[in-house]
Copies of this chain bind each other. A is one copy, B any other.
């Protein structure tokens, strides 16, 4: 059975690369910086997005594509903050793919948008394999997930331009060595930007906002 699966998976990945390239062309022509935000369930993707909208929303026009198995809780949280959000329901599917994003783009008004955040399905494994056309993959790891996670789930950390270590406010109450996370993440990807933040207290978020704003400015200048 395992052998049977391999060529099929390869075909799907090849078809996805083609669609991702089409999406990327659309983003580049429109001058939009696009991130693919990935993490385990509950690591804080939507919370980071809410904080980012609160801080950058006044200066940068944003839009959001929300990926979820079947609910629209997260899109509702984003829309409440006055940002355009489209919900993709994967109907049980464990990741977003290029085709789903292409369909979602038809429902978005991209006029003037400078930053598009695609919030992937909560899953530290599958989303890493499917490019969506984004300029940067960003992984969030919560301190409560444990400091062994980069080496146990390496692909996402290898491919991400930035790693956001969230929930640092809980460090006094748990066994988690942030230096170990940093070291193993850097071992997998030496060029990764690493941010230590708490979406609850706001600690560490300014460095994340600054990185994102710089990326948007670089895209604007091209």
- A residues contacting B by CB (< 8 A) are 1-2, 4-5, 8, 11-12, 15-16, 19, 40-42, 68-71, 73, 92, 94, 97, 99, 121-126, 129, 142, 144-146, 148-149, 151-155, 167, 169-170, 173-175, 200
**CB-CB under 8 A for A154 and B69, given A40-B41, A167-B144, A173-B169:** yes
Closest to A71 in B: B152
* Docked-complex contact B154 and A70, CB < 8 angstroms: yes
Q: With both chains docked as a complex, state the minimum distance between the C-beta of A46 and any C-beta of chain B, in angstroms.
A: 9
Chain copies in the assembled complex = 2
Q: Which residues of B contact A71 (CB under 8 A)?
A: 148, 151-152
* Docked-complex contact B12 and A149, CB < 8 angstroms: no
Of residues A12, A69, A149, A152, which shows the largest number of chain B Cβ atoms within 10 Å of its Cβ? A152
* Docked-complex contact B5 and A145, CB < 8 angstroms: no
Q: Can you list 11 pairs linking A and B with CB atoms under 8 Å apart?
A: A1-B12, A8-B8, A40-B40, A41-B149, A41-B152, A42-B146, A70-B154, A71-B148, A122-B152, A142-B144, A175-B200
Closest to A152 in B: B71
Q: Which residues of B contact A167 (CB under 8 A)?
A: 144
Of residues A8, A92, A125, A149, which shows the largest number of chain B Cβ atoms within 10 Å of its Cβ? A125
Q: What is the bound-complex CA distance between A94 and B123, given in angstroms?
A: 9
Q: What is the bound-complex CA distance between A29 and B175, given in angstroms?
A: 42
Q: Which residues of B contact A73 (CB under 8 A)?
A: 148, 151-152
Q: What is the bound-complex CA distance between A15 and B8, given in angstroms?
A: 15
**CB-CB under 8 A for A15 and B1, given A126-B94, A126-B126, A173-B170:** yes
* Docked-complex contact B8 and A149, CB < 8 angstroms: no
Q: With both chains docked as a complex, state the minimum distance between the C-beta of A85 and any C-beta of chain B, in angstroms.
A: 16
* Docked-complex contact B173 and A69, CB < 8 angstroms: no
